[in-house]
Amino acid sequence: MMKNKTNKFYFLVLIFFILNCKASELPKPDGGIKIIARNEMIHNRFNYNVDPEFKLLQSIQLIALNPINLLANNSDFMSTHLRKSADEMKIAYDFNGIPINKINEIIGVVPYLTYIKDKGWTGVRQFFISNSLNNCYYQENYIILTHASVILAKEAVTYSVNNKVTLYHTVGENNSGFTYTIDWFDDQYFRTIKCSSNKLDKNIKTELIELAKDIVKYNDENKK
Amino acid sequence: MEYFKYVILISSIASTSHAGLYAPTMHSRANCNGINESVTWQANVPHNWRVDSYHWESNQNSKKEHIKSTKWAWTTIAIGYCLTEPPPKESPMWIVGGYHYKFNHDDQRLEASTEAIDCNVYDGWWG
């Protein structure tokens, strides 16, 4: 009888655990922006101390010099090599990008996300250099075509960029370099700026927020 | 639902490439020499990705479908696929739809949905 009671107890504990173990669902197509507690998000995350895109950002100027990437004459608009201008790509929506007067130089652009037949790429990544931000990229996901959606941890969410849902984080270590990333989300775009630096710099966050605001303003002014 | 292992590919530099070199790209292809698949990749840069590839018959009266889903993994390429898949019995072709997920710090995204009924604009990963 004791054994039956013990088994019953463990069974009830198991049921209680299952019912209270809230793993979030995956985001759904056109599911918008959902904000939940961090402990409700899925737990299959890989935490990393060194951003794998740090080396890509640090070497982008060298990459641009590679003859394969000087593709002004490449007529394959589907190729994912680095190009000087977004005009050399077939983009499925009206892309304005980053205002050139707010940075030093655009290194090049590449396609991002997916290519829709007869329409073009649904996202773009622009690599650029800024005196205050070093080597960076700006990227857009046009969610009207990608049907993207996102679930965010409420503990990390702010509204720093024009009252849009915003995330910011820094990744890195002193002996490997740092990346600084700002994401902001609305009902048409998921946008990101990511920059790399060999040192930790707390001023970069403010710079990124201001540049993000400039991008929003520039794109709103140039909407077709 | 079956889970498949990831394959990490190292591609040689070609004069053109239709898959992500300096940013992630995602796509699906269907009825492509027996291959139905959905894939996310970026050369040499791993991310925390997952891909769900849905394969269903083009006949709208047929409700047969199956899903090839990857696990979440830190990887440069995530593929949900069927190799050597025979043509469907009740329809002229397969339709393949892909859901491409990414887990960042504090955000979990469906980055893009993809769909294909043929080899699509991609003729392979190596240009």
Tens digit of pLDDT for each residue in A111-125?
A: 999 998 889 999 999
Buried b (16+ CB within 10 A) or exposed e, B7-20: eeeebeeeeebbbb
What would the pLDDT profile of A93-109 be if each residue is shown by its tens digit? 999 999 999 999 999 99
B122 chain-A contacts, CB cut-off 8 A: 78, 115
Q: Which amino acid is at A115?
A: Y
- Chain A nearest-CA residue for B72: A44
**Which of A24, A69, A112, A139 is most worth mutating to test chain B (most B CB atoms within 10 A of its CB)?**
A112
* Whole-number average pLDDT of chain A: 87
A155 chain-B contacts, CB cut-off 8 A: 106
Question: For residues A41 and A27, what is the distance between their CA atoms, to the nearest angstrom?
Answer: 11
pLDDT of residue A159: 98
A48 chain-B contacts, CB cut-off 8 A: 74
Question: Average pLDDT of B37-48?
Answer: 92
pLDDT of residue A174: 86
pLDDT of residue A100: 94
B104 chain-A contacts, CB cut-off 8 A: 167, 183
Model confidence at A46: pLDDT above 70: no
Q: Which amino acid is at A4?
A: N
> Which structure tokens are listed for B31?
């009825």
Label residue A129 by pLDDT band (50, 70, 90): very high
**Which of B102, B111, B119 is most worth mutating to test chain A (most A CB atoms within 10 A of its CB)?**
B111
Question: Which of B15, B24, B110 has its CB closest to that of A112?
Answer: B24
Question: Average pLDDT of B106-123?
Answer: 85
Task: Give the range with max mean pLDDT: A23-32, A93-102, B18-27.
Answer: A93-102
A156 chain-B contacts, CB cut-off 8 A: 105-107
ipTM above 0.85, yes or no: yes
**Which of B107, B114, B125 is most worth mutating to test chain A (most A CB atoms within 10 A of its CB)?**
B107
* In the block, residue with structure tokens 């490997």: A176
pLDDT of residue B2: 30
Label residue B95 by pLDDT band (50, 70, 90): very high
B22 chain-A contacts, CB cut-off 8 A: 56, 60, 63, 80, 82, 110, 125, 127
* In the block, residue with structure tokens 């990227």: A139
- Chain A nearest-CA residue for B99: A29
**B interface with A, Cβ–Cβ below 8 Å:** 13, 15-27, 44-48, 50, 52, 71-72, 74, 99-101, 103-114, 120-122
Question: Which of B20, B22, B121 has its CB closest to that of A117?
Answer: B121
> Which structure tokens are listed for A21?
């173990």
Share of chain A above pLDDT 90, in %: 62
Question: Which of B45, B46, B106 has its CB closest to that of A38?
Answer: B106
Laid out side by side, the sheet with B35-41 consists of A158-161, A164-173, A177-185, A189-197, A134-142, A120-130, A105-116, B25-32, B35-41, B77-82
> Which structure tokens are listed for A176?
């490997």
* A28 contacts: CB under 8 Å, gap ≥ 6: A149, B110
pLDDT of residue A88: 86
pLDDT of residue B127: 29
